[in-house]
Amino acid sequence: MTEGHRIILTRQRDRNKIWAARLEAAGYAVVEAPLIRYESLPVDHDLDASAFDWILFTSPQGVKAFTAAGFVPGDARMGALGAGTADALKTAGLRDDLGARTLDGAEFAQAFLAKISGGGRVLLPGPDRRLPDPRASLSAAGFEVTELPLYKTCSVPAKELPTVEFAPGDIVFFCSPSTVRAFTEAWNERPRCVAIGETTARASRPAGFETVVAATPDLSAMVLAAGLDPLPEPATPEMES
């Protein structure tokens, strides 16, 4: 069913457009409301990424920021949290040596530890603020973990947001706790929402949203979780947030 429902997309502007095009092609009404954007941070160019045994990426944005900053992995092995991050590595001409397909940082750490033992040096490129895992689990297992903050996630100023008059049947798609926080700062309404994973749901539920969680972190699963008609398969892999 597509009639009577609008899907509110809340990711950053360029990622919204990718999903909006696919949803609209399937007949869904879409409102693009980009609530977050990424800002680059100053980086320590004396850090030698190639000196690490592993470089683990937890998001496509982490891959993009790593390559944009000019870091070179050399002989360091690399791993990606999920399919979207692995696709970002491939696009950047980098390899995924781990082959994990996990849903969150804790699962990612366990997948890594199930394959890799004996300690070593691990680099975690990514945001300035992140959840404890995978760092905590890897450190507890004897790995020397270095976090490399490359960007920060910022709320889009209210004056730059589109005017949205919410209606019955609207469904908000949240892909990170940051988008939930930005939504609550911008609007008082609490439409029904779909969370891309349990980490995001833990932010949306206490904020007052009636929340369902996608079975996997991709657009197709979010549509199904909303109780809507399934989408045709994408031509290219989808990217988790």
102-159 pLDDT tens trace? 888 999 999 999 999 889 999 999 999 888 999 999 999 999 999 999 999 999 988 8
- Nearest alpha-carbon partner for 55 in 141, 142, 129, 148: 148
Q: Which residue has the higher pLDDT, 5 or 42?
A: 42
DSSP bridge partners of 120: 143
Q: In what order do the strands lie in the sheet containing 192-195?
A: 29-32, 6-9, 171-174, 192-195, 211-213
Ranges in the chain annotated CATH 3.40.50.10090: 6-37+155-225, 47-152
Dist CA 161 CA 140 (whole Å): 42
Q: Which residue has the higher pLDDT, 200 or 2?
A: 200
Instruction: Write down the pLDDT at residue 97.
Output: 97
Query: pTM higher than 0.75, yes or no?
Result: yes
Average pLDDT, the chain: 92
Give the 3-state secondary structure percentages of the chain, helix then strand then coil, rounded to 5.
Answer: 30, 20, 45
Dist CA 21 CA 23 (whole Å): 6
- Nearest alpha-carbon partner for 211 in 228, 184, 231, 190: 190
Q: What single-letter DSSP state applies at residue 49? A: G
With 70 as the cut, is the pLDDT of residue 239 above it? no
Instruction: Write down the pLDDT at residue 217.
Output: 85
Burial of 53 (0-12, 13-18, 19+ CB in 10 A): middle
CA atoms within 13 A on the CB side of 143: 27
- Nearest alpha-carbon partner for 189 in 205, 203, 204, 208: 208
Distances (CA, A) of 46 to 13, 50, 51, 63, 168: 32, 12, 11, 19, 54
Mean pLDDT of all residues in 25-29: 95
Q: 6-37+155-225: what CATH class? A: alpha beta
Fold of 47-152: Rossmann fold (3.40.50)
Q: What is the pLDDT of residues 196-217, one digit of tens each?
A: 988 899 999 999 999 999 998 8
Residues above pLDDT 70, as percent of the chain: 95
Q: What is the pLDDT of residues 161-182, one digit of tens each?
A: 888 999 999 999 999 999 999 9
Instruction: Write down the pLDDT at residue 20.
Output: 96
